[in-house]
Structure 1
Amino acid sequence: MKGYIYYDEEDAVRNHWFIDELIKEGFAKQLDVELLTGDADLPNDAKFVIYRGRDFGKSRQFESDGVIVINRSEVNRIANDKLQTCELAAILGIPSIPTRRLNSSLDVREYPVIIKTADGHGGADVHLCTTEAEVDEVVAHYADRQLLIQPYIEHGSSDVRLYMIGNEVVGAVKRTGVGTFKANVALGGTAERFVPPSPLRKFAVRIAKALKSDYIGVDFIQNKDNVWLLNELEDPVGARSLYETSEVNVAREFMQHICRKIEKTL
């Protein structure tokens, strides 16, 4: 069966190793998979697309073309909108970081606060503000973006990410920031293997089932009262930290999941 892995061109360069692994594991399962990047049209022979971008409109277009999209467009829409993520958590009864829209510094009730873009990823658009002037500066910088405000929660510059393939937790890591409150490995943080407690596993499974997702990351932080709070969802989620801290072959597990999903549609 013919399928494609979609990446934005810049992301495809950074993730070439994982792309090659997916193609290799797909071949072993009689799936003919090729890379598709940028604005390239979806070929007529496509039966499925592993969508590794963040453009909800593009993933929805692929679905309208009649192919199986992995993850489906609704996963992409919710995971790449932090306010939508928090609203989903509320519906599912999962504790999360209190989040609301920010228009100006007049919306800030107490400092310090975290200001972030609704559609950001990788930690680049997350700012810790301690004064009104700092908030005004962030608001001016992101004049064309939706901003969100969250209380600053002391969490030791660390968070945990659970990796979900289908409804199964296939691994988890604890990420710790270096010289920053952000725990993102892409910003220089470190990752170590983490064994998630039962409540976190149940939360992550509940989210995956509600989203009908194929492969996502579910991020939590723990506050000073040891309460776990959902922070963000990641789609597309990377695999580097999991490969470095475990024996899980993410590409193999992911392609096995895709095979099972395709078989159910035949």
Structure 2
Amino acid sequence: MDLYGWIIYNGYLKGNKFLDFAQWIQKAAAKQHIQTNIYQNNHLLSFFSSDSMTLLHTKQTELPHFVVFTDKDIYLAKQLEFLGVRVFNSAQTIALSDDKIATYQTLAANGLPIPRTVVAPKAFQQTDDINVDDYRDIANQLGLPMIVKEAFGSFGEQVHLVSTEKELFAKIQELHGKPFMLQEFISSSYGTDIRLHVVGDAVVASMKRQSSNDFRANVTAGGTMQKYHPTKQETDLAIASAKAIGADFAGVDLLFGENKEPIVCEINSNAHIRNMYNCTGINVADFIMNDIRKKLK
């Protein structure tokens, strides 16, 4: 069977970073003689009624054998699955990865090492009626400084370090009405983490990221990167973390604990791969497409 696939990215995001990721996947597919088309998510509208379920706007009459989903449009991913298309990663995996609270909860349920975390109570709208004593107890438990992290966000932009109760209460007031969590600050990993790219049952590429002037190590936020050789403990943890959320492939970020023990910081179900290639010379897209071919067989 000649495989045919779609690669979907978000058509509303500015810049070429997301199209670039899709094009890397497409080139890797071409190396394996797999035909693919790239689509923006806004060109594939989900339509359903009591007696019909389809996609609008696509010129293709046939659905693909598979989709590589580089976006977070969970409803579109689910629509494709309802239509019988194998989606990499699945809608459920994307949803778990996109919601950091759900990610940590799943990792904790699997007994994997994460920072101590308290989820802020759900609020439907922002209000001045906040009981700061509740959060004072949390501060006493987790200690200061601590991390205040929004459930949804990318590139480290929704992660905040607060050092005093005053800063904590101000940030809580600012975020009230949004889902967020309070988390122990892993000071031993200040400005440093490692990104391990998992594909299938293996870590295929790794890099260390460092920042000299920020607690976050994200390259997008100004961090530097260097090739890294993970330990077996780090490798096993990254693979177990990806499997915990059902990922076919993922970028797993690990922090260093006080005794250099690895702690999961984040899992990205659609981690971009250009920086990894620039750092290590390893094209993760080739591994992704090889894994997809094996699974479809």
- Aligned residue in 2 for 1:112: 145
State the TM-score, normalized to the length of structure 1.
0.91
- Match for 2:104: what amino acid? C
Counterparts of residues 3-152 of structure 1 (less than 5 Å): 3-9=5-11, 10=13, 13-41=16-44, 42=55, 43=58, 44-103=62-121, 105=132, 106-107=134-135, 108-109=139-140, 110-152=143-185
Decide whether aligned partners of structure 1 residues 213 and 12 sit closer, same or farther in structure 2, where only a CA change above 3 A counts. farther
- Match for 2:212: what amino acid? V
Q: How many residues align?
A: 263
- Aligned residue in 2 for 1:248: 282
Decide whether aligned partners of structure 1 residues 178 and 61 sit closer, same or farther in structure 2, where only a CA change above 3 A counts. farther
Residue 85 of structure 1 deviates from its aligned partner by 1.9
3-state DSSP of counterpart to 2:155? coil
Give me the whole-angstrom Cα distance separating, in 2, the residues matched to 1:32 and 1:196.
34
Larger mean Cα displacement after TM superposition, 40-49 or 242-251: 40-49
- Match for 2:155: what amino acid? G
* RMSD of aligned Cα (Å): 1.9
| Structure 2 residue corresponding to 1:228, chosen from 251, 262, 273 | 262
Larger mean Cα displacement after TM superposition, 179-188 or 29-38: 29-38
In structure 2, runs of 5+ residues without a counterpart are 45-54, 122-129
3-state DSSP of counterpart to 1:163? strand
Any conservation in 1 of the 2:18–2:70 contact (CA below 8 Å)?
no
Deviations 1:207-244 (A, max 9, x none): 33344422101111112232221111112111123102
- Aligned residue in 1 for 2:197: 163
Structure of higher CA gyration radius: 2
3-state DSSP of counterpart to 1:122? coil
State the TM-score, normalized to the length of structure 2.
0.82
Any conservation in 1 of the 2:6–2:37 contact (CA below 8 Å)?
yes
In structure 1, runs of 5+ residues without a counterpart are none
- Match for 2:28: what amino acid? E
- Aligned residue in 2 for 1:2: 4
3-state DSSP of counterpart to 2:96? helix
Give me the whole-angstrom Cα distance separating, in 2, the residues matched to 1:211 and 1:129.
29
Decide whether aligned partners of structure 1 residues 74 and 21 sit closer, same or farther in structure 2, where only a CA change above 3 A counts. same
Deviations 1:156-206 (A, max 9, x none): 310111101111110111111231101111101011111111111111222
3-state DSSP of counterpart to 2:75? helix
Decide whether aligned partners of structure 1 residues 11 and 88 sit closer, same or farther in structure 2, where only a CA change above 3 A counts. farther
| Structure 2 residue corresponding to 1:175, chosen from 209, 221, 227 | 209
- Match for 1:193: what amino acid? K
Decide whether aligned partners of structure 1 residues 36 and 11 sit closer, same or farther in structure 2, where only a CA change above 3 A counts. farther
Give me the whole-angstrom Cα distance separating, in 2, the residues matched to 1:19 and 1:229.
30
Deviations 1:41-82 (A, max 9, x none): 254432211111123333222211211100011211211222
Give me the whole-angstrom Cα distance separating, in 1, the residues matched to 2:174 and 2:36.
41
- Match for 2:10: what amino acid? D
How many percent of aligned residue pairs carry the same amino acid?
26
Residue 248 of structure 1 deviates from its aligned partner by 1.4
